[in-house]
Amino acid sequence: MTTLGDRHLKIPKYLQLAEYLRHEISAGRFQPDDRLPSLNDLKEQFGANQHTVERAHALLENDGLIRREPGRGVFVNHPAPRKVTGSVGFLAPYNMQPEQNIAYWGSVIAGMRSAARDHGYHLLIIDDGSAFDSWEKIDGAVLCDAHDPRDPHPGLPQYLQDFPYVALFNEIAEIACVTSDDFDGTYQLTKHLIQLGHQNIAYLANFNSGLSTFTQRKEGYLKALREAQIKPDPKWMRELLFRKEWEGLPSWYSQAGEYYTRRWLEEDWAELECTAIIVQNDDTALGVMDAFEAAGMQVPNDVSVVGYDGIVAQGAPSLTTMEVPLQEIGRQAMTSLLDWVKDPAQAPQNVCLPVRLIEGQTTAPPSGVISQHALITA
């Protein structure tokens, strides 16, 4: 026999039984139209008498969670239709800092806000999902997280099975996601460098975070090398990781780019003979170039540098990068979400938007090499 609770708490047994059944329904162990355990089953499992069970059932019935069908049993109801609130949310990633990465996140949020406004909705930015307790006040959410939202997670509502949501940037099986073609992005960047004549191409990025976007970027880089019959050296790849001392800085990415490149130069950069480097994003590329400059190396004469995202392509010199349609990604994600809210029978599909190579002034053939690109355009 299972004990419902501590008898010293003096909580009536029918309340304990009602809470137990409510939890089982909320957790999905009893699905809509499932039959709840019979009176005899509950008597055997909990020692509950008929009066206790009927009072517990009455509470759940008043809440609309169950229905009693004479002669058949007690069944779980389908969730009541959610009331339209006119608001939607964006559950931001834990490390989003719009004030520090305003060009990036500002573009994404601008796209979401534009689509929400076109549908007559207000956009609510949720900075901390674990502290947010008003999920019933929004009609759906765009999520940007490495977690599968169907798994238990303190930052997400418990009723996500009936809650419209669309993932942003991270592909998760059987969940609609809007992202860009990250595989093709680094594939194009690597081919661009190979066509210029580079063979030993370094790669500095985050590729173990759990986000599919970074995994695909690494795979695009490796495929381009293999197609060119270049065997990548594992030492060409270094992971970009956050360090506590960068917290609160205007752009930790540029700090990381400078830090890891400086360490690389002090260690084995020279023996690897890399003449080009692909980095995670444009901010990181700025830090990488600062480290090369401090070491007396000129970009692109001594080393070519390419970024990613296309948010700081202009400058001196202008950066070679892969432009990601950030605003359109935000717009498409919100449009897909609100179309689903309007018609729950039509779940959204994955959307993968193309990226565009921007050739700047930070890439050139390695010293003494005539590039394929130059031969083609000659």
User: Which fold, 182-324+357-377?
Assistant: Rossmann fold (3.40.50)
pLDDT tens digits for range 54-110 = 999 999 998 888 999 988 999 999 877 667 889 999 988 765 655 556 788 889 999
Residue with tokens 């003494």: 368
Q: Decide if pLDDT at 370 tops 60.
A: no
- List Cβ neighbours of 16 (8 Å cut-off, separation of 6 or more): 4, 5
- What's domain 87-180+327-354's superfamily in CATH? Response regulator (3.40.50.2300)
pLDDT at 42: 87
pLDDT at 281: 92
Helices (H) and strands (E) in the chain, counts: 11, 14
- Tell me how crowded residue 40 is: count the other CB atoms within 10 A of its CB: 10
Choose between 370 and 279: higher pLDDT. 279
- 284, 254 in Cβ contact below 8 A? yes
pLDDT at 133: 78
pTM: 0.74
Q: Decide if pLDDT at 130 tops 90.
A: no
Domains of the chain by residue range: 7-76, 87-180+327-354, 182-324+357-377
For residues 359-365, average pLDDT: 96
CA angle 324, 327, 328 (to 5 degrees): 80
- 306, 323 in Cβ contact below 8 A? no
DSSP collapsed to 3 states, 329-356: HHHHHHHHHHHHHHCCCCCCCCEEECCE
- The secondary structure of 99-126 as a DSSP string is TTSHHHHHHHHHHHHHHHHHTT-EEEEE
Q: Decide if pLDDT at 359 tops 50.
A: yes
Pick the CATH number of 7-76 from 3.30.540.10, 1.10.150.120, 1.10.10.10, 3.40.50.720: 1.10.10.10
- List Cβ neighbours of 295 (8 Å cut-off, separation of 6 or more): 262, 265
pLDDT at 364: 97
For residue 376, give the amino acid letter: I
369 confidence band (pLDDT: 50, 70, 90): low
pLDDT at 153: 54
Q: Decide if pLDDT at 166 tops 70.
A: yes
- Tell me how crowded residue 287 is: count the other CB atoms within 10 A of its CB: 23
Question: For the chain, what is the mean pLDDT?
Answer: 85
324 confidence band (pLDDT: 50, 70, 90): very high
For residues 337-361, average pLDDT: 91
**What percentage of the chain exceeds 70 in pLDDT?**
84
- List Cβ neighbours of 309 (8 Å cut-off, separation of 6 or more): 104, 281, 282, 321, 322, 323, 324, 326
Q: Decide if pLDDT at 239 tops 70.
A: yes
pLDDT at 378: 41
Is residue 301 within a helix (H) or strand (E), and if so which, with residue range? none
pLDDT at 8: 47
pLDDT at 344: 81
13 confidence band (pLDDT: 50, 70, 90): confident
Instruction: Evaluate whether 87-180+327-354 and 182-324+357-377 have a shared fold.
Output: yes
**What percentage of the chain exceeds 90 in pLDDT?**
51
- 197, 373 in Cβ contact below 8 A? no
- 249, 255 in Cβ contact below 8 A? yes
pLDDT at 146: 54
pLDDT at 373: 45
Q: Decide if pLDDT at 374 tops 90.
A: no
pLDDT tens digits for range 246-287 = 776 667 888 899 999 999 999 999 999 999 999 999 999 999
pLDDT tens digits for range 134-153 = 888 899 999 886 555 555 55
